[in-house]
Structure 1
Amino acid sequence: MLARFTPTWMIHATYDINPGDLNALGIKVVLTDLDNTLIAWNNPYGTEELRDWMRALQRENIQLVVVSNNSRKRVKKAVAALQLPFISRALKPLSIGIRRAMRQYQVAANEVVMVGDQLLTDIAAANGSGVRSILVQPIVESDAWNTRINRFFEHFVMHAMRKKHPELKFRKEFMNERNK
């Protein structure tokens, strides 16, 4: 049961993920959740730190794609200034959105990583799709009302997961002993 929610890696923040390390692992496409992973859920404009990270991904020839459960209208508006491709209505924790992105970009599961801030949606969808996953801490501590429900249950899953896998801790660096 816990395997469904166990991330491959845990990193403090999305922007701490080193694109060079991703490239070394053969990653061609980074799928990312939108709210509280790529941008703060209540601030759709992003930061300069995000833009720097996006440029670093481009230098490594890694495609960044937003995979969100939000409506097409909401995601399109949120990523317009960033000019990012997206998959809306991804239906996470189901693997539908991730599989759609893999078909669209013609990549195998080992060439993709899913980045998200929620075990019960993002990580579960990644594991269900057979792709590696990176759990990040939310950008801001506040959440939309519907996410607060997930966070309540996530607390119990995280506790059980850490008990079973004490090596799983949020880290600043991407590459470590577990990754090699």
Structure 2
Amino acid sequence: MLKRLFPSIYVNSIYDIKFEELYNEGYRGIIFDIDNTLVSYDTKHPDERIVTLMEMLKGVGFNVALVSNNNRIRVQTFNEKLQLKAYHKALKPMTRKIKIAMQAISTDRSNTILVGDQIFTDIYGGNRLGLKTILVIPISEKEEWITKIKRNTEKKIIKAYLKRVNKNAAKH
């Protein structure tokens, strides 16, 4: 069970992801969470750096979607500049909206990446579908109370994940 909570990749931020390498490995779709993955929880609109990143990803050949557990107004407001396929109230780790997003961006389990900041929602949801999952360090400590409660357990899982990664790296 613990392995289902481990990300495929763990990075500091979305800007540390090697997107071109992932494209060269055959990945064609990226599904991003919004809050504390792309921007802080209380940031309404993407900044120019996010807009530029999304344009770069499309230029490389990726199809991109947003899947958030947040409400419709939050997701629509954030997506005004980006104009991506975007889904709200996803109820991650449930997989229904992730599957809908993959269909909308014409990808499948074998060539889709899910990027998020939470283990119990984003990573577990993506892993349930067999996607490549990328965990990023949350942008801000400001978040909903329920998320704050889960963060202590997430820290223990990340510690176990890093221990496993380091053990495997020592073998090679």
TM-score by length of 2: 0.89
1:11 Cα shift?
A: 1.5
SS of match in other structure, 1:166 = helix
- 1:31 aligns with 31
- 1:76 aligns with 76
1:167 Cα shift?
A: 5.8
Mapped contact 1:26–1:111 kept (Cα < 8 A)? yes
Which stretch shows the higher mean deviation, 4-13 or 77-86?
77-86
SS of match in other structure, 2:49 = helix
Mapped contact 1:11–1:134 kept (Cα < 8 A)? yes
Mapped contact 1:8–1:132 kept (Cα < 8 A)? yes
Q: Deviations over 1:35-62 (max 9, x none)?
A: 0101111112222221221121011121
Partner Cα distance (1:42, 1:154) in 2: 22
CA RMSD of aligned residues (A): 2.1
Mapped contact 2:85–2:101 kept (Cα < 8 A)? no
Partner Cα distance (1:108, 1:120) in 2: 22
Partner Cα distance (2:27, 2:130) in 1: 14
1:32 Cα shift?
A: 0.6
- 1:114 aligns with 114
Partner Cα distance (2:15, 2:138) in 1: 12
Q: Which structure dedicates a bigger proportion of its chain to helix?
A: 2
Which stretch shows the higher mean deviation, 1-10 or 48-57?
48-57
Q: Deviations over 1:73-92 (max 9, x none)?
A: 22112221322221112111
Alignment of 1:139-150 (within 5 A): 139-150=139-150
Mapped contact 2:5–2:123 kept (Cα < 8 A)? yes
Count, aligned residues: 170
Matched, 1:60 2:60: yes
Mapped contact 1:37–1:138 kept (Cα < 8 A)? yes
- 1:157 aligns with 157
Matched, 1:98 2:98: yes
Mapped contact 1:69–1:89 kept (Cα < 8 A)? yes
Partner Cα distance (1:50, 1:61) in 2: 17
Partner Cα distance (2:75, 2:13) in 1: 21
> Partner letter of residue 63 of structure 1?
N
Q: How high is the sequence identity, in percent, across the aligned residues?
A: 33
